Amino acid sequence: MFRMIKFLLMLPVAIALVLFGVANRQIVTLILDPVSPQAEAFKVSVPLFVFFFATLAIGIVVGSASTWLAQGRHRRAERQFRRERDRLQEECAKLKAAAPAGGTALAALR
């Protein structure tokens, strides 16, 4: 059910992106040298939609990387909690193995 809802929500976005690409096929020039715009080495001429999609892809990568870096402390804390949990489980298993077969010390006092 969730996959169907996701598909229905993403379908209009995909159609809009395809229409944007088809409508913006004209060649534009991006000049990467603000000091001397006549320098041919720093000019890129491609269709407008290529710039749009490249900017979108770079934004996704940069946003994902910044999110991953920002959540590093949470991942580190999770690893510490897992190590502590494993240590406590081992200690619990050792204490259970060392316990007398008849039960606890309180049961022996009855």
d(CA 30, CA 48): 10
Q: Which residues of 21-42 are buried (b: 16+ CB within 10 A; e: fewer)?
A: eeeeeeeeeeeeeeeeeeeeee
- According to the model, what pLDDT value does residue 25 have? 87
Averaged pLDDT for residues 58-72:
96
In this prediction, residue 15 has a pLDDT band, given cuts at 50, 70 and 90, of very high
Give me the chain's average pLDDT, please.
87
In this prediction, residue 30 has a pLDDT band, given cuts at 50, 70 and 90, of confident
Q: For residue 100, is pLDDT > 80?
A: no
Six-digit token pair at 62?
């940069």
Using a cut of 0.75, tell me whether the model's pTM lies above it. Answer: no
**Model confidence over 84-94: pLDDT tens digits?**
999 999 999 99
Six-digit token pair at 79?
């690893």
**Model confidence over 69-82: pLDDT tens digits?**
999 999 999 999 99
**Model confidence over 41-58: pLDDT tens digits?**
788 899 988 888 899 999
